[in-house]
Amino acid sequence: MVKTIFHQDLADKANFQIDAPAPAPEVKGLPKGGLNIGYEALDSHLGQPTQNKLALRWISKENHIVDFSYQALCQHTNRFADLLDQLGLAKGSRVFTLAGRRPELYIAALGTLKAGCVFTPLFSAFGPEPIRSRMEIGNANLIVTTRSLYRKKLKSWWQELPHLKAVLLIDGNPDNEPGCCDYSELMEKADPNRGCETTQAEDMALLHFTSGTTGKPKGVIHVHQAVQHHIHSAFYALDLKPDDIYWCTADPGWVTGTTYGIIAPLCMGVTMVIDEAEFDAERWYQILQEQQITVWYTAPTAIRMLMKVGDALAKQYARPNLRFMASVGEPLNPEAVEWGEKVFGMPFHDNWWQTETGGIMIANFPSQPIKPGSMGKPLPGIEAAIINTSNSSELQMETQPMQVGELALKTGWPSMFRGYLNQAEKYQSCFTNGWYLSGDLAMRDEDGYFWFVGRKDDLIKSSGHLIGPFEVESVLMEHPAVAEAGVIGIPDPVAGQLVKAFVALKPDITADEELQQELLGLARKRLGAAVAPKEIVFRHNLPKTRSGKIMRRLLKARELGLPEGDISTLESDEQ
């Protein structure tokens, strides 16, 4: 019997009720026809009670607070759209950003959309090479950045890009760098009433690069229509309500930080909090307390880091208004869900989606019991299935519970990606008979809950067993000494593959043979000898993408002495 976590009070107040789902807010559409994400997020609040409400509270690294009302953000973004006109950018032009989480980044994102241009965020910690390759394949027309990032990462080569018209420097251009413009100077002159370009639902709006966990990052195309699902999913899966104070910890350099860190909360008229600083456990607890966050959306890697720091720190801070916590990006180990319950008095609600899906597809809703370790159920309007793709000529749905297969989604949801940039064939190959194949393996249980097994590429075949790394990693995580685990298959002449685990320990724990044996014993007891790792090695850190995902392909490449492949999104890792 799988244990479940359920809070009746949370369920009673949830937007999503299983028997009678409340209708989610709809897109408003442009007054004269058409659809624009920027309009939905900002202009649609003008003349409404939300007009003067706090839309965005920014906390600088030094703890300065800057507030923007919906109306103020609307005017700033009008100016930015006008600034793009002045620079000669037209509808469809590509605007890239390379900046930390500062207000100008958010203004640029929404101003770009309002101008009918395409927004592409780049993660500010990228080095010159990943920046250049993404700007090249994305035909960047403008990049918005800071002086120091410009000097370190762009200055020596940007003039070679044929489509790039200018570099816009957020913090000014006192050295008169040729080709660079001063953001503040242009914003000052720009029209605060420019308004929104007429765009259509199928016009391209966002170009996002995937995390590069399984290989070279792909450029994923999204259109303005996506906003319909951004709103629905924020309503159903994040349970956002007008009075919420919401904190999404993801950086807009990744899709979560744009969809749920910019667009969805503003469309819902809530107050969102942005922290410029990097992860710091104490700072995060302070923000939850001082800003009185009600809904918090974060990621497994952050939750594991908080767990690593320990419960005592969490208990020093109050969270009187916090009512809902969600997580995305990687499988969320049952241990982490339960840790939420223990320390915060509520579980983390895991949800699943991809850059390609443009929004949350499968979620643990506040109105349903959580089965820790499960991703939850498909959102209203989303049809998900488990497909057996071993027989490639035929599409075979798994109808029996707990059968492993590829997680697929019935095509046609509004935020479905409309292409991989310059990779038409790859895009086509993701679809079969009206289904999108996600590349992830999962199972569905008899109650309709979906369970993540692993990425197709990460699946381990050992002595006839199919083993998903997540299952093994979750068991290792149950041990109090373990902070993180990454599991891969290594070739073996007899078994085909053997399970090998890489484990990072919590601070002050000594890695010795006794602990190794203890972990092996725990895994054997819980998983059986066929599935348990044959070998466990200790590492200080596991290689991760900058968005915090464990890069199993890199563990494997290093283990086997193979080329490391594209490591543009790798966070520097000490072995």
**565: phi then psi, degrees, rounded to nearest 5:** 70, -160
CA distance 404 to 467: 10
Which of 138, 210, 119, 122 has its CA nearest to residue 422?
138
Per-residue binding letters, 162-201, with Mg ion (x by CB under 5 A): ----------------------------------------
Q: Which of 36, 124, 214, 294 binds ligand ATP (CB under 6 A)?
A: 214
568 binds ligand ATP (CB under 6 A): no
471 binds ligand ATP (CB under 6 A): no
CA distance 259 to 162: 30
Contact call for residues 66 and 60 (beta carbons, < 8 A):
yes
Q: Scanning residues 339 to 368, which ones bind ligand ATP (CB under 6 A)?
A: 350-352, 354-355
User: Of Mg ion, ligand ATP, none, which one sits near residue 146, judging by CB under 5 to 8 A according to partner kind?
Assistant: none
User: Of ligand ATP, Mg ion, none, which one sits near residue 167, judging by CB under 5 to 8 A according to partner kind?
Assistant: none
CA distance 445 to 439: 19
CA distance 112 to 119: 6
Q: Which of 71, 139, 211, 568 binds ligand ATP (CB under 6 A)?
A: 211
**93: phi then psi, degrees, rounded to nearest 5:** -65, 155
Binding segment (CB under 5 A) for Mg ion, from list 83-91, 161-169, 204-212, 399-407: 204-212
259 binds ligand ATP (CB under 6 A): no
CB of 544 to Mg ion, least distance (A): 15
Which of 416, 546, 541 has its CA nearest to residue 131?
546
What are 212's two structure tokens?
């590069």
- Lookup result for tokens 């009008």: 78
Which of 217, 249, 256 has its CA nearest to residue 234?
256
213 binds ligand ATP (CB under 6 A): yes
49 binds ligand ATP (CB under 6 A): no
Which of 308, 368, 339 has its CA nearest to residue 541?
308
The number of residues making up the chain comes to: 575
Per-residue binding letters, 382-421, with ligand ATP (x by CB under 6 A): ----------------------------------------
455 binds ligand ATP (CB under 6 A): yes
Q: Which of 45, 147, 232, 549 binds ligand ATP (CB under 6 A)?
A: 549
CA distance 166 to 168: 6
Binding segment (CB under 6 A) for ligand ATP, from list 32-40, 268-276, 327-335, 509-517: 327-335
What are 117's two structure tokens?
């241009």
171 vs 571 by CB, closer to ligand ATP: 571
DSSP code at position 44: G
CA distance 547 to 174: 33
User: Of ligand ATP, Mg ion, none, which one sits near residue 329, judging by CB under 5 to 8 A according to partner kind?
Assistant: ligand ATP
Binding segment (CB under 6 A) for ligand ATP, from list 85-93, 188-196, 316-324, 325-333: 325-333
Q: Which of 331, 358, 469, 548 binds ligand ATP (CB under 6 A)?
A: 331
Q: Tell me the HSE value of 209 on the side-chain side, using a 13 A CA sphere.
A: 27
375 binds ligand ATP (CB under 6 A): yes
Q: Scanning residues 423 to 452, which ones bind ligand ATP (CB under 6 A)?
A: 438, 440, 452
Strand arrangement of the beta sheet that strand 482-492 belongs to: 482-492, 496-505, 535-538
Helix (H) or strand (E) holding 440: strand 435-444
158 vs 236 by CB, closer to ligand ATP: 236
120 binds ligand ATP (CB under 6 A): no
CB of 354 to Mg ion, least distance (A): 5
Which of 241, 376, 249 has its CA nearest to residue 321?
241
Contact call for residues 414 and 229 (beta carbons, < 8 A):
yes
Total residues contacting Mg ion by CB under 5 A comes to: 1
CA distance 110 to 210: 21
141 vs 438 by CB, closer to ligand ATP: 438
126 binds ligand ATP (CB under 6 A): no
166 vs 430 by CB, closer to Mg ion: 430
User: Of Mg ion, ligand ATP, none, which one sits near residue 352, judging by CB under 5 to 8 A according to partner kind?
Assistant: ligand ATP
328 binds ligand ATP (CB under 6 A): yes
Binding segment (CB under 6 A) for ligand ATP, from list 51-59, 156-164, 192-200, 212-220: 212-220
183 vs 470 by CB, closer to ligand ATP: 470
329 binds ligand ATP (CB under 6 A): yes
CB of 134 to ligand ATP, least distance (A): 12
80 vs 365 by CB, closer to ligand ATP: 365
212 vs 414 by CB, closer to ligand ATP: 212
Tally Cβ neighbours within 10 Å of residue 572. 9
- The three-point CA angle 247-57-64 to 5° equals 115
Binding segment (CB under 5 A) for Mg ion, from list 57-65, 210-218, 229-237, 415-423: 210-218
Q: Which of 103, 138, 217, 269 binds ligand ATP (CB under 6 A)?
A: 217
CA distance 128 to 132: 6
Strand arrangement of the beta sheet that strand 362-363 belongs to: 65-69, 54-59, 271-275, 245-248, 295-298, 324-327, 348-352, 362-363, 377-378
* Percent composition of the chain: helix, strand, coil (DSSP 3-state, to 5): 30, 25, 45
CB of 186 to ligand ATP, least distance (A): 33
DSSP code at position 26: P
210 vs 351 by CB, closer to Mg ion: 210
Q: How far is CA 164 from CA 124, 156, 180, 207, in A?
A: 18, 14, 11, 16
Question: Which spans of this chain sit near Mg ion (rule: CB under 5 A)?
Answer: 210
Site of interaction with ligand ATP (CB under 6 A): 210-215, 217-218, 328-332, 350-352, 354-355, 375, 438, 440, 452, 455, 549
